[in-house]
A and B are shown apart, each in its own frame.
Chain A
Amino acid sequence: MTYSFLRLAAEALRGQTGWTPAWRDPEPKAEYDALVVGGGGHGLATAYYLAREHGITNVAVLEKGWIGSGNAGRNTTIIRSNYLLPGNEAFYEHSMKLWEGLEQDLNYNAMVSQRGVLNLVNSDAARDAAARRGNAMRLHGVDAELLDADGVRAMVPYLDFDNARFPIKGGLLQRRGGTARHDAVVWGFARAADRRGVDIVQNCEVTGIRVSNGRVMGVETTRGFIGAGKVGLAVAGNSSRLAGMAGMRLPIESHVLQAFVSEAIKPLIDCVITFGAGHFYISQSDKGGLVFGGDIDGYNSYAQRGGLPLVEDVMEAFMALLPLAGRLRVLRSWGGIMDMSMDGSPIIDRSPIEGLYLNTGWCYGGFKATPASGWCFAWTMAKDEAHPLNAAMRLDRFASGALIDEKGAGPYPNKH
């Protein structure tokens, strides 16, 4: 069933009773050509592109809970391609290009909203770093504007420009950056994959990975064994657990990251603002809630909740940036489990086990990567080799030293 305004109008005449499920709820088959473990954005996008780009449609996505129950449905929805390093830049820009046509492609309004991502600059050192990033982006054909304080003031006059501590000196703006509605991205990919024949199997937890002679045979699940010659893991914060089932130890730690939304207010913040001095990022949703977050809590955890100290930390940054927010109120907070890699960049690669593929290490930036991650992972699974776009995102780079460390923080997952 194709979605359109006309369809909606037609349904209005019969009380919206004609809609059918956005995706089927199939029983898993005994065997598939390819399995994708993890019904987050990345897993669903992978299945979609396997079908669309490579004609591989005998595919199932296995999700332990409901699709989008992980980080895909918990993130702060920021999309951007303002990356610096060669291994990242082209990949994220490809993602941005896919976002730009996604809704028509999926026939689903994922509310991709290019409202601009503005990184504030609070010190000379930050300005140099922003200049370097902006120059690198521009050189590679990605949009970037370096703004001075007046330029920033024109965009976001309500910020605290004369903050006693971190006066705003300028900013790096990517106008094509913005936000997308996270749940809609999940549902849109699910529906589009389903329409191409992919089985989306929810409430199906993978409990084991069957490997024989160095080759993957399929997975054990709470709904029985499911065979497949190709298995892709796209389980974000649970990557280490899943890899452990195949006897692998990944260069990944799992950390909790909290996010927050305020009560809905009338439009205040039009773009995405990030505040490096306070490790803080914020945007306003179409419903009016301010959506924001900060640092990870800093300790390894699989519990999807964080502590109060970090909450205070985030609110302090909020107040430093937006002193008028004192009486606004936080409505909900939650946590997600981040797959933090040793250099802050992802892994999309084959694994040492034949037919088993890895998609992990997204840290707090994997939402924006969703389309490109699925696109590249599908390519890697289909062709058994990396696409040039994900060629640098290798598993063995930690051994070889070809790290992609945007932040330069070193091999400390909690610092990226």
Chain B
Amino acid sequence: MSQRFRTAAGGRIDRARPLGFSFDGRGMEGFAGDTLASALLANGVHLVGRSFKYHRPRGILAAGSEEPNALVEIDRGAGRRTPNLRATQVELHDGLVARSQNRWPSLAFDAGAVSDRLAPLLPTGFYYKTFLWPPRAWARLYEPLIRRAAGLGRAPDTADPDRYVQCYAHCDVLVIGAGPAGLAAARAAAGSGARVIVCDEGAEFGGSLLAEERARIGGVPAAEWLRDTLARLEAAPETVLLARTTAFGYYAQNMVGLIERVTDHLAAPDPALPRERLWQVRAREVIVAAGSIERPLVFPGNDRPGIMLAGAVQSYVVRYGVRPGRRAVVAAEGDSAYRAALALHAAGVEVAMVADLRDAAEGALPQMARDAGIPVRSGATIVGTAGRLRVRSVTIGFSGGRERVAADLLCMGGGWTPSLHLYSQARGRPRHDPTIGFVPRTPVPGLTCVGACRGVFGLAEMLADGAQAGAAAAMRAGFAASGESWAVEDAPSCECAPPRAPGPGSGRAFVDFQNDVTAKDLRLATREGFRSIEHVKRYTTTGMATDQGKTSNVNALGIVAQAVAAPVEAVGLTTFRPPYTPVSFGALAGVARGALFDPVRTTAIHGWAAAQGALFEDVGAWKRARCFPRAGEDMHVAVARECRTVRETVGLFDASTLGKIEVVGRDAAVFLERMYVNALANLAPGRCRYAVLLGESGFVRDDGIVGRLSADRFHVTTGTGNAALVLGLMEDYSQTEWPELQVWLTSVTEQWAVIAVQGPRAREAIAPLVEDVDLSRQALPHMSVRSCQVCGVAARLFAVSFTGEIGFEINVGADHGLAVWEQVWERVQGLGGAVYGTEAMHVLRAEKGYVIVGQETDGTVTIDDLGLGWAIGRKKQDFVGKRSLSRPDLAAAGRRQLVGLALDDASRLPEEGMQVTAAAQDRTAIGHVTSAYGSGTVGRAVVMALVADGRARMGEIVFVQMTAGAMAARVCDPVLVDPEGARLHG
């Protein structure tokens, strides 16, 4: 029969629902309600993993999230292979495929275990002291070897097909942990009508009650009280119960992050369900009822499979109906371990001995053990163990001598450490209690610790503590609440074991199981001067494994305190860092994946452009049509044609992505006058101006067109990628520097579609479509704006140009954008014009010497460097950045100035970003190329560059450092087409 190690009856598993699963290819059976760990134990499997450094055989130590050893890979098919899961938390489902990790060729025979033989050579920190010679060998030889050996599980090899979602919640009381204290608190709070959220990382609510076999609460068995409590909570209308949900981090002002595991426990999950759900809960009151974690004992050979925490053993026996061995020794440092002995005994496991490390074992539980006929010996020390893949015997020392006891199960009960993780993350400062260990000290507003996580251990005390705190929290949140109280029977009092350091011992006594840190390693670190606990942690790696030291930190602390002869509280705890248990990246990223990572912005004309076969490019978050190749054209040919058409006839261009800000109010003109370098206050309604915006430090941040629609209304454009930055800058000044100005700023980028028509026949192209506006040069000169109707739709018509040709930009409501565009397109097409994209736009503007902020500038370029100093309003008292312009280094000689470069070889095209030097062989740059395009109009490459003292070098030869060598170029004016502007005003 499989499941040879099941008890005859009992437990919370469903014996009527057997589930098949496999581990390392071996098929086995368990029951619904099992974890992978309990199912493996039921099948007699203890060897589950290998340790990190020495590859020592390891078994299942714990029954919960503190498990350091039993890490497995769960494989659910392509892209769904998850490494490093704790077998103690993996719920069994039918067909579960689990594998051990970090071993080769097999778990039982792992070649990596050679490092265990070399252990004397590999003390803690050995790698800092060696691998130094020969100098380059670290990177080439040692490190690659170390890397290959390190690591735990494997990453999946394809994209994760599962979905992860996120949600937000507010509540009055968030209860973290649904053990007795948490449930009592939740009951009290929920009863008041407060909005309550209760979460617990386990599959079932109940915590320690799930492994409680004899206690009675309020006159009924604990299990019945649990059932009743859950029924009440489920019935409470404002209460949300979240099982399989870990509170992983506490963030400022009672924001708690929860991870809910939704489908991992299901054999065939509904594809509509997400795998995990991230909850961000803002709670008025947080109650932490996170319980405590049992400490292993530190003795030589304490790491063999079959050596388990006593509380975990109790849980496996009582909750899961598993016998984790045939013959057990229980090593007890406190009373609670006796409960494991009693449970084992009741389940028919022979308990060879309770070896009590205390001088005397007097309490109720030791007495019950004796009464049950279990041999109890006090004054014991565990001297060592034997067994390779499973413990075989335990050697116990007494004052009179040693005894070797055959056993395949050794239970360790080293006392319980309150879980201070969330309390500490909330910046609570613990104190050290000599009988319990670290417990909360300073209050944290809005956060209460209850039960074992604050060192309250007895069942009756925990229930009372929880009920009282739950009622108090609900009251603070504004509800009338009162805590219930229950009589507790048959829960024998339990003397807690104070944390204490182990004796020196000879063999290797493990403290951090996963990282293979021994007591000796810790002592060595202190001898080497690593006396701060944080130094010890980092030097030895204790507490840095995937369990974050849940079972090891307090033991390590005790050993270090002893080694440096300082009180434990003076040594102190290491910082508790979120997350409490590891959280998947998928859940934290949520739905912001793929196209939703950073949603794309498209214009009203996007679909039309796509249908025309446009190639697109990313500009900020926008997709912009880069060019419109016709059949048989490559990009170069298409761009050349588009440019030619604009210069000769007319071109149509989608400029909708330009940032647009509506600046309105009595003081709008004053405001813009202060923001931009230009004189804008005197701009007449109906006119526009090219305007430059500096940052506070005097460098160019943006440029655009400021159009005045009326005395108190301006339409301002910004660069495509700069819209948010400019609006932010404006808001900053409006709100913090000049709050007295009456001005309102509205982003209208998305409101207007912008249809640019440029070229000698532009006027002709749009004339029939525009109503009520005289388009003549005299009536509507270059740099004018009119509100009008275009194609019957309200429009703002700008006479502006970014090509050097006659140009118009028709702004219409985005909803009408496509319809108007199509009509304009019909006209343009009729005249033999073309649609053009951003690449042609770049070429055209470069031929004309127009700069693009972000291309010619990089945040370190002044307006004078660009040769745009003329734009500065001479009579202006102030504008943003003005003061900085008078700083000496902004006017100093040697600044890089914008020039054109004419390459000697007209057939060559340099690349943007190439360096410019004064001599061919120079190693010091005097500048760099900012823009470079082939140009049919000019007949050679159009190159713009920033060159030191460039304007003084006109006609000089400089060198562009091309990939294939330096290329001579003559410094020239950047304006190559129509320097007089005759075409523009034509």
Contacts and interface: CB of A to CB of B under 8 A. Distances in A.
Given A135-B928, A329-B582, 4 more contacts: A132-B913, A266-B155, A286-B147, A401-B890
B125 to A, nearest CB: 9
Contact of B127 (A109, A308, A312, A403): A109
Contacts of B860: 85, 403, 405, 408
B83 interface: yes
Interface in B693-708: 695-699, 701
B961 A401 contact: no
Interface in A363-413: 397, 399-403, 405, 407-411
B13 to A, nearest CB: 27
Interface string A70-101: 00010000000000010000000000000001
Interface stretch (B307-315, B552-560, B590-598, B802-810): B590-598
B152 A264 contact: yes
A133 B915 CA distance: 9
A135 B582 CA distance: 42
A250 interface: no
B697 A411 contact: yes
A400 B891 CA distance: 10
B430 to A, nearest CB: 17
B597 A163 contact: yes
A112 B548 CA distance: 26
Interface in A112-140: 112-115, 122-125, 128-136, 139-140
Interface string B123-157: 10011111111010011000100111011111111
Interface stretch (A6-14, A45-53, A223-231, A240-248): A6-14
B132 A183 contact: no
A135 B598 contact: no
A131 B915 CA distance: 10
Nearest to B74: A327
Given A5-B130, A266-B151, A327 B586 contact: yes
Interface of B: 52, 79-84, 102, 120-121, 123, 126-133, 135, 138-139, 143, 146-148, 150-160, 162, 164, 166, 249, 251-252, 255, 257, 280, 425, 520, 524, 527-532, 534-535, 538-539, 541, 545-546, 548, 575, 577-579, 582-586, 588-590, 592-595, 597-598, 600, 617-619, 695-699, 701, 854-855, 857-860, 884, 887-890, 911-915, 917, 923-925, 928, 961
Contacts of B102: 266
15 contacts: A4-B132, A19-B524, A22-B528, A22-B530, A111-B127, A139-B924, A160-B159, A265-B83, A287-B150, A287-B151, A324-B157, A326-B79, A326-B159, A327-B585, A401-B890
B81 A327 contact: yes
B129 A8 contact: yes
A356 B123 CA distance: 43
Contact of A288 (B80, B152, B160, B619): B152
Contacts, number: 333
Contacts of B252: 307
Of B146, B160, B529, B917, most buried by chain A (CB within 10 Å of CB) is: B529
A3 interface: yes
* A-B residue pairs, 3 tightest by C-beta: A408-B859, A326-B160, A288-B151
Nearest to B694: A410
Contact of A135 (B79, B546, B887, B913): B913
A154 interface: no
Interface of A: 3-5, 7-9, 11-13, 15-16, 19-25, 65-66, 68-69, 73, 85, 101, 103-104, 107-115, 122-125, 128-136, 139-141, 158, 160, 163-166, 178, 183-184, 187-188, 202, 262-268, 277-278, 284, 286-288, 305, 307-308, 311-312, 315-320, 323-334, 342-343, 397, 399-403, 405, 407-411
B139 A115 contact: yes
B107 to A, nearest CB: 16
A109 B81 CA distance: 36
B153 A266 contact: yes
Contact of A312 (B530, B575, B588): B588
A318 B589 contact: yes
Contacts of A334: 575, 577
A264 B130 contact: no
Contact of A8 (B130, B531, B597, B701): B130
Contacts of B138: 103, 109, 111-113
Contact of A325 (B147, B160, B535): B160
A129 B913 contact: yes
B151 A109 contact: no
B164 A326 contact: yes
A410 B162 contact: no
A276 B216 CA distance: 61
Contacts of A316: 589-590, 592-593, 597
Contact of A124 (B139, B585, B617): B617
A221 B340 CA distance: 53
Contacts of B79: 324, 326
B151 A267 contact: yes
B443 to A, nearest CB: 18
Contacts of B857: 408
A66 B534 contact: yes
Contacts of B153: 263, 265-266
Contact of A286 (B123, B150, B154, B890): B150
Contact of B914 (A25, A135, A165, A411): A135
B584 A139 contact: no
Contacts of B520: 15-16
Contact of B961 (A5, A139, A266, A327): A139
A367 to B, nearest CB: 15
A21 B529 contact: yes
Given A22-B528, A109-B132, A125-B854, A265 B84 contact: yes
B34 to A, nearest CB: 22
A402 B257 CA distance: 45
Contacts of A329: 84, 582-585
B140 to A, nearest CB: 10
A19 B585 contact: no
B263 to A, nearest CB: 12
Contacts of A324: 79, 155-160
Contacts of A262: 582, 585
A43 B589 CA distance: 38
Contacts of A109: 127-132, 138
Contacts of B135: 101, 103-104
Contact of A405 (B588, B594, B859): B859
Contacts of A263: 83-84, 152-153, 546, 582
B219 to A, nearest CB: 44
Nearest to B586: A326
A16 to B, nearest CB: 4
Contacts of B924: 139-140
Given A264-B546, A410-B859, A330 B80 contact: no
Contacts of B146: 286
B532 to A, nearest CB: 4
A267 B151 CA distance: 7
A265 B154 contact: yes
B52 A326 contact: no
Given A3-B129, A286-B150, A326 B162 contact: yes
A266 B73 CA distance: 12
A319 B889 contact: no
Contact of A410 (B121, B130, B697): B697
Contacts of B546: 263-264, 331
Contacts of A330: 579, 582-585, 588
Nearest to B142: A109
Nearest to A188: B128
A218 B598 CA distance: 53
A69 B534 contact: yes
A319 B925 contact: no
A128 B102 CA distance: 44
A3 B123 contact: no
B538 A73 contact: yes
A124 to B, nearest CB: 6
